[in-house]
Each structure stands twice: as structure tokens, then as C-alpha cells.
Amino acid sequence: SAVISQKPSRDICQRGTSLTIQCQVDSQVTMMFWYRQQPGQSLTLIATANQGSEATYESGFVIDKFPISRPNLTFSTLTVSNMSPEDSSIYLCSVASSGVGAPQHFGDGTRLSIL
């Protein structure tokens, strides 16, 4: 299975600042996803990171707030912009090969706290 390295593992940030989270995979993967998990809740898909084109965002998430890059098949970044305390969450990167029902593999997550 794919090995996913996510950085940073945790951070504490000031209100109004931005943070970029990196996701590196040890093999080329077709699908890369970014999730948010707010305290006490389950995972919510933010967007699908598409290689070489704009990410596909889910309802309630916009590019200005969560810009995503995916320059190649092994790397993606998610930026959380103009942060507020409501953005305090765990952010998770996930990958999957193509095909219906392909298993997903998750990174260890980035635990983000906004003061």
C-alpha cells in the first residue's frame, strides 16, 4: 500500500494567517483527496486534487479559502487561508488508485489549532 507523508503533523497558528500542508506519496497515484475532521466529528471531503488542473471542491468549500496544488502524481498541498478558530481541525490527505471501489490510504493528518 502507498506510504503517505504529511507535514506538518501539527501547528498552532494565529488568527488571520495562512498555513500550507504538504502531502507526499511514495508512488504515483491517480486520486488525491483532502479531508477535514472537526473536533468530535467524522471526516468531510474538502476537495479532490487533480494533477495538472484545478481541484474539484465539495459544497461548502471554496478555492479562495482552501487553495490546492497538485503539480505531479506524488505530491499535493492544501493551504488554509485567513484562518479563524473555526478552522481548528485535523486535515487529512488520502490517496487511491483509479477504478471503482479502489481502497483509500490516509496520511497521519495535520492537527491545526487557531488561536
Instruction: By CB under 8 A, name the binding residues for another protein.
Output: 1, 33, 37, 41-45, 48, 90, 92, 100-101, 103-109, 111
Based on CB atoms, which residue is closest to another protein, 37 or 51?
A: 37
Based on CB atoms, which residue is closest to another protein, 47 or 83?
A: 47
DSSP 62-106: -TTTS-EEEEETTEEEEEE-S--GGG-EEEEEEEE-SSTTPPEEE
- Which of 63, 64, 65 is CA-nearest to residue 49? 63
Please report how close the Cβ of residue 112 comes to another protein at its closest, in angstroms.
10
Torsion-angle region of 77 (φ positive above 0: left; ψ -120 to 50: alpha; else: beta): beta
Please give the backbone phi and psi of residue 87, each rounded to the nearest 5 degrees, phi first: -85, -5
Based on CB atoms, which residue is closest to another protein, 65 or 111?
A: 111
| DSSP letter, residue 19 | E
Please report how close the Cβ of residue 4 comes to another protein at its closest, in angstroms.
10
Based on CB atoms, which residue is closest to another protein, 16 or 66?
A: 66
Please report how close the Cβ of residue 90 comes to another protein at its closest, in angstroms.
5
Please report how close the Cβ of residue 42 comes to another protein at its closest, in angstroms.
4
